[in-house]
């Protein structure tokens, strides 16, 4: 049976109470979901980074999201999905799908449907990123099968995702190994216990801010060169993922590009957790204004990549998310970083390469995700029972 989302759910947007009223936030009363919380969770959301007070709930009129409700991000990072394990609240980038109980639906079934759906289709392009709206979501049709069939599908996908989660844990441990080796060789980069020389980033690297060629000029967009966005910079993955949008040759000429072996850093994002995320280009790419590229002149690229990861707190310490989450080019250029001797940087780089080979062997998600998408396409999108 195919139904529209609006017929089976009340679609409820979240809200952000005033940041200027500290009484709203200095609390542990009610859990408040952001995109960063959805990014960190696997399936169920238990904890949130921020909380709201009782007065914040009352004064802002924000509505509760009941336990066992599917929530999904529909701005900037579209499709980050989870299920609430207790009553919670959320910000305006999160949509809650409150069950109307007109038919039997497992929240886990909807979770998988949303998590692997291609939300690029029918999305609107916002100035600072991608977004869906409530009206568009309301009209989307989904396939709802019998409750027995739902349980069967969820059981199968749970087993597959358990395997994926295990591999993700292995990747995290390998990342921790790299960071431990960094500390052994160079110490904490902020306190600099080994006394390495320090310089401003603008004195050791070239920093380039990306841009968006005019959307009004269709000929700027085509298939000549990938146009990277912050979604393509994924924590724990060395290189940018394949872009979903590309520029034409004319678009490239008015855009900003970097060649292989440059750093791409997310510098504008909806959460502090996303700012400072980095990857290394393995091809020539264009990139948008939410990204600063760093082209090294006195660094080994792999050393610089890990140095930025180890300096996350330093990178974001001046950012005020109440105003706008931006790490500007000028602020980034003024940051000071250690410059160890090149032979030490290269020695560390060799170690990272060896670990990255192990990560590549572990990170075989693509075939698994292909199987999941094929399975979901068969059961969710083709109307089969």
Classify residue 286 as left (phi > 0), alpha (psi -120 to 50) or beta: beta
Helix (H, G, I), strand (E, B) or coil at 5: helix
* CA separation for the pair 367, 365 (Å, rounded): 6
Mean pLDDT in runs of 10 for the chain (385 residues)? 92 92 89 86 88 93 95 85 95 94 93 79 45 85 89 87 75 86 95 97 97 95 95 88 93 97 90 87 96 96 97 88 75 96 96 79 54 58 40
Per domain, the residue ranges of the chain are: 2-144, 145-193+340-385, 197-338
CATH level 2 (architecture), domain 2-144: Alpha-Beta Complex (3.90)
What residues form DSSP beta bridges with 90?
A: 33
Domain 145-193+340-385 grouped into CATH 1.10.287? yes
**Three-class SS of residue 10?**
strand
CA triplet 164, 277, 181: central angle to 5 degrees? 75
The answer, as to whether pTM is greater than 0.75, is no
Q: Is 184 exposed, middle or buried (0-12, 13-18, 19+ CB in 10 A)?
A: exposed
Element (H, E) at 164: helix 147-186
Domains 2-144 and 145-193+340-385 share a fold: no
| Residue-wise pLDDT tens digits, 14-54 | 999 998 898 998 888 999 998 888 877 779 999 898 999 99
The predicted-structure confidence for 72-102, as pLDDT tens digits, reads as follows 998 867 888 999 999 999 999 999 999 999 9
Per-residue tokens: 84: 């609430």
Architecture field, domain 197-338: Alpha-Beta Complex (3.90)
- What is the sign, positive or negative, of the torsion defined by CA atoms of 258, 262, 266, 268? negative
pLDDT at position 126, please?
40
What is the SS3 assignment for 234? coil
């Amino acid at each position: 049976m195919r139904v529209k989302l609006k017929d089976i759910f009340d679609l409820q947007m979240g809200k952000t109470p005033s940041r200027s009223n500290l009484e709203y936030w200095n609390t542990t009363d009610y859990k408040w979901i952001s995109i960063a919380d959805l990014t960190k969770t696997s399936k169920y959301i238990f904890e949130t980074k921020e909380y709201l007070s009782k007065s914040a709930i009352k004064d802002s009129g924000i509505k509760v999201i009941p336990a066992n409700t599917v929530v999904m991000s529909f701005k900037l990072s579209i499709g980050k999905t989870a299920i609430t394990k207790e009553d919670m609240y959320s910000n305006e980038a999160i949509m809650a799908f409150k069950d109307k109980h007109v038919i039997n639906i497992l929240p886990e079934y909807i979770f998988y449907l949303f998590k692997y759906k291609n939300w690029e289709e029918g999305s609107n392009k916002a100035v600072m990123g991608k977004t869906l709206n409530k009206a568009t979501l309301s009209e989307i049709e989904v396939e709802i099968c019998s409750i027995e069939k739902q349980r069967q599908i969820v059981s199968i996908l749970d087993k597959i995702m358990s395997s994926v989660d295990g591999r993700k844990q292995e990747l995290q441990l390998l990342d921790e190994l790299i960071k431990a080796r960094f500390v052994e060789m160079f110490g904490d980069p902020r306190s600099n216990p080994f006394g390495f020389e320090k310089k401003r980033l603008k004195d050791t690297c070239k920093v380039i801010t990306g841009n968006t060629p005019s959307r009004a000029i269709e000929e700027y967009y085509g298939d000549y060169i990938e146009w990277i966005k912050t979604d393509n910079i994924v924590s724990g993955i060395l290189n940018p993922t394949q872009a979903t949008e590309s520029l034409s040759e004319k678009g490239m000429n008015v855009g900003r590009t970097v060649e292989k072996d440059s750093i791409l850093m997310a510098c504008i994002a909806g959460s502090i957790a996303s700012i400072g995320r980095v990857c290394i280009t393995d091809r020539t790419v264009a990139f948008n204004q939410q990204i600063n590229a760093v082209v090294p002149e006195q660094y080994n690229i792999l050393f610089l990549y890990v140095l930025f990861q180890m300096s996350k707190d330093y990178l974001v310490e001046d950012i005020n998310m109440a105003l706008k989450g931006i790490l500007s080019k000028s602020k980034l250029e003024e940051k000071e970083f250690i410059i160890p001797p090149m032979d030490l940087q290269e020695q560390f780089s060799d170690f990272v390469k060896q670990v990255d080979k192990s990560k590549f062997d572990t990170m075989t998600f693509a075939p698994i995700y292909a199987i999941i998408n094929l399975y979901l396409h068969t059961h969710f999108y083709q109307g089969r029972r």
